[in-house]
Structure 1
Amino acid sequence: MNGWLGCRLFALSLAGWGLLAGGCQAANPPVRPEGVTDFPALLQMAGNSTTVNRGQKPEPKANPLNFRPDDFGTSETRTARIRAVVNNTAILDEEVLVAAYQALLGAKTEVEKAEILNAKLNEIIDREVVLQDAELRLGNKGGGKFIKELKSVATEQFNKQWLYKLMNANKYTDEKAFREYCAANGMSVDLMQRQWERNFIAMEYLRGRIEPTVNKISQRDVMEYYDRHPDEFKVEESVEWQDIFVAAARFPNRADAKAFAESLVSRLNSGQDFVALSKQFDNGDSSLRESSLGIGTKRGEIKPPEAEPIIFSLKPGQVGPLVEMETGFHIVKLTKRIDSGKRTLDDKLQKTIKDKLRGDVFTREMKRMVSDLRRKAVIQIAETIK
């Protein structure tokens, strides 16, 4: 395992479906991305199906694969071992390890490692049934060219972008030396590329299949969602305000400090710039913050708390009376107020809702398609393979 830890392949998420945070929740369906990090997590969408398919034996619930990263040596000494077969397509242990690499770094027990490996195996199975469906549907209809084009795009992205990111992360400038380094640490760059290409093709195929359904989301759907989920669009009363603090300790007596603070209020009311005066005369930390903003925007958050009732009583642009403190005087000005209520369904919110609905439909259809393909597939795992 030390060799794996030494090989800082930070982008090995390209080899697995499930390393992308959040999947496709409240997000648009993926378009052809610059990097695999734009892909949604297929396993999260497809779910951890426990349905036994034709030709597939039920997996034991506890540690079903019974393998660990330490079971494997370097690529030169390791014997390729089949971990699963999906409709006559073999999945090797090495593929699972590549997909599981990043997650394994955080595993603390052998049981946890096995669970990670099992999950990654299931992700690869999901990918393979999708790829086989693509080959079946497109290969018989002249779609083989489309698949080749996708593979070409994926290969180009890997070679021109991700390979060099991997090299830079490991402080290598020579590709041959980097490949040798990876091989010595039990990692095949060619296998990483293969995983990248297969993930890319599978996701693009799914995107193409699902996109027509996603595109049916209408303005009416957006309006209905907005009307049926009022709690999601509640707006709390909030403010933005500016602050100048005049410290009493800076003056001979408290009366002089108050008189000076009142003179600043007069200057502000006459139209002088708040930020300029804050930078010149503030004895607190407001002048260090952008636009001399005060701390806190909602009730219960304002600091100092003594300023809260005054701030919330002001109108935008209005300078309040002095906020008297034991240590000095705060001068406050309200710059913005948002009243409580329901957020207006403006263009920005409409787009947000539409994106969420598109993501929901994409997720639902992805789950349905992958689950259906797994149900129809003949899948053999580990000890069931002779």
Structure 2
Amino acid sequence: MKNNNLKKFLKGMTLPIVATLWLVGCSNSNNSSMIASVNGEEITEDELNETLTTQYGTEVLDTLITNKIIELEAKELGVSVSEEELQKEYDEYASRYGGEDALLELLDSYGMDVDDVKKDMETYLLTFKVMEDDLGITEEEIKTYFEENKETYGKAAEVEASHILVEDETTAQEVIDKLNAGGDFAELAKEYSTDTANNEDGGNLGYFGTGEMAEAFETAAFAMEVGEVSSEPVETEYGFHIIKVTDKIEGKEAVFDEVKDTVYQDLLAAKVNEQYSTWVTEKMSEYDIVNKLTD
């Protein structure tokens, strides 16, 4: 569910850029100074502002009106977003871009900063708070949603393994013979493995679940015991693997009482995404809205 929420939020992330340009344009509507030229032919600020308003003005203004409604609804309900909630959302968002430095670099390329993002995030989080009471999610709905998505909340079995990947079976058997003679797996991975992504790290692949590796490799790894090295090479489309299993995590079925809060938040997110447009339309009919772009 989180991915759907993120997509919705990301779609709105570009709006502050356009909104800023449009609002700046409105505030300087009497300024016709040149901002570009082609062979001496001027392009003025007025032309830019008119184009931005024509192409984006309605969409951006609708967004600003909606945000204002959410703000007013929040005041009426007495709800707000705490600094802790905002920071948590920001940290989660940054992690999806590989950390804050990567996010800041991206924002800078769009002419945005952290304040722009956090303002959007605050509105995003407020939307959930103001719609929550209207949605009236029941205990029965939460349980039904849990049963329908039970696998999502369980812990899938995982294996931690390393491998030595070679091109042919003869080389694979040579490596196995050296391992049987007491050779060190990590050192042999550095010497023989063609998987340059991890051979210098002893062939370490980390943890993986089902459906993440080539089928033959996965089947062999899950069938092995911790500390075991494959006695025969495992062939996949990538070549021949010698596998060493270093750890296993057993799968665990989800228990409703242990994940109830998470299930509720996911169900809330699903309902907000599903009913958001209808909710906004209904709220707009309750407010005295003046829109000079469409009126």
TM-score (ref. length: structure 2): 0.49
TM-score (ref. length: structure 1): 0.40
Structure number with larger C-alpha Rg:
1
Report which of the two has the higher share of helix.
Answer: 2
